[in-house]
């Protein structure tokens, strides 16, 4: 796997890699968090970002690492976890500061900030190559996944 992010400077400091994962789920939040803790086996911080009442909840899970290798391995672990969980509608991994509301979770404007995604109807995708993230190909892929996801949500089911 080609990785072109040698250093990520975050509020936690240089060379601290923080995985920002956004889960949309129809399950009990506390139950989901406990399952994530078991799956990742490291301390996590989490926040409920749900903006409106409904049957889907939006949860942010943050995990900090000291190396890019640990970061990449955990990103892959989370994507596989989400793909195997029947109650997770979508997981999006994106850089801090990119999230600007639930309705823009997979928006065109932030496609290059999304480096991982898994849905019930797509395999887990992880890209840690900045050139690809900036490409039209990646933007088109994210836009396609967004439209398929929204079609399924609007049709009343994703998983």
pLDDT in tens, 32-74: 888 888 888 888 888 888 766 555 677 888 887 777 788 888 8
* Cα first-last separation, the chain: 29
Signed CA dihedral, 26, 123, 152, 84: sign only: negative
- Domain enclosing residue 48, as ranges: 17-154
In a domain, 9, yes or no: no
How does pLDDT run across 109-133, given as a tens digit for each residue? 788 888 888 877 777 888 888 888 8
CATH number at residue 106: 3.30.70.260
Q: Which phi-psi region, left, alpha or beta, contains residue 95 (left: φ > 0; alpha: ψ -120 to 50)? A: beta
In a domain, 136, yes or no: yes
In a domain, 5, yes or no: no
In a domain, 10, yes or no: no
In a domain, 7, yes or no: no
How many distinct structural domains can be found in the chain? Answer: 1
In a domain, 67, yes or no: yes
In a domain, 113, yes or no: yes
pTM tops 0.85, yes or no: no
Relative to beta strand 45-48, strand 57-65 is antiparallel
In a domain, 68, yes or no: yes
């Amino acid at each position: 796997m080609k990785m072109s992010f040698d250093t990520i400077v975050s509020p936690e400091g240089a060379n601290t890699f923080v995985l920002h994962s956004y889960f949309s789920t129809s399950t009990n939040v506390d139950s989901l968090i406990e399952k994530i803790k078991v799956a990742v086996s490291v301390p996590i911080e989490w926040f409920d970002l749900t903006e409106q009442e409904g049957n889907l909840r939006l949860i942010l899970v943050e995990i900090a690492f000291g190396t890019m290798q640990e970061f990449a391995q955990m990103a892959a672990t989370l994507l596989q976890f989400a793909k195997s969980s029947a109650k997770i509608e979508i997981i999006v991994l994106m850089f801090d500061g990119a999230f600007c509301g639930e309705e823009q979770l997979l928006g065109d404007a932030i496609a290059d900030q999304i480096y991982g995604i898994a849905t019930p109807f797509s395999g887990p995708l992880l890209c840690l190559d900045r050139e690809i993230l900036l490409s039209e190909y990646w933007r088109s892929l994210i836009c396609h996944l967004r439209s398929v996801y929204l079609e399924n949500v609007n049709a009343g089911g994703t998983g």
